Amino acid sequence: MLKNIEDRPRGHRFPRDQVLARLQRNADGLIPAVAQQYDTGEVLMMAWMNDAALNETLATGRVCYFSRSRGRLWRKGERSGQVQHLKGLYIDCDGDTLLLRVDQTGPACHTGRSNCFFLRVDGDEVVVTANPIIDPETLYGGTQTPNTATQRESDPT
């Protein structure tokens, strides 16, 4: 169906459920979702969504992802309070990636930085390009166990 959309003019509408059903998911039923701050264009993070996360996000307006490390739905900010409110959801032309335009409360990254993309490749080096805007221990209440820290590294909240 997405191929049929390509030649349609601006403003043409399609039933949401039909388009979402045709999204290209990986073998685990997941689709990548890139979060972008709606008013500045800053790319905040990338995470995964399954159908339940996508449906919850659309129903509530609060962004929900699927945490691969936890094996369950993950509501952005459920521990840190740094939530994302959906402003717009866009589907790429291949139907295999989502762009979530969000209003992010506080930092998006578990490191306390505004976004997760703070490492820049510069020739044969990698440079840290931003400092945390909040200490991660403050962000998560200083109640981290080793297991929690591992989860944060692989799946920021």
Indicate the pLDDT class of residue 111, thresholds 50, 70 and 90.
Answer: very high
The tally of CA atoms less than 13 A away on the side-chain side of residue 103 is 5
What's the CATH code of the domain at 93?
3.10.20.810
151 pLDDT higher than 50:
no
Split into its structural domains, the chain has a count of 1
pLDDT of 9-61, one tens digit each? 999 999 999 999 999 999 999 999 999 999 999 999 999 999 999 999 999 99
Provide the pLDDT for residue 148.
37
Domain of 25 in residue numbering reads as: 2-154
47 C-beta neighbours (distance < 10 Å), count: 27
pLDDT of 85-104, one tens digit each? 999 999 999 999 999 999 99
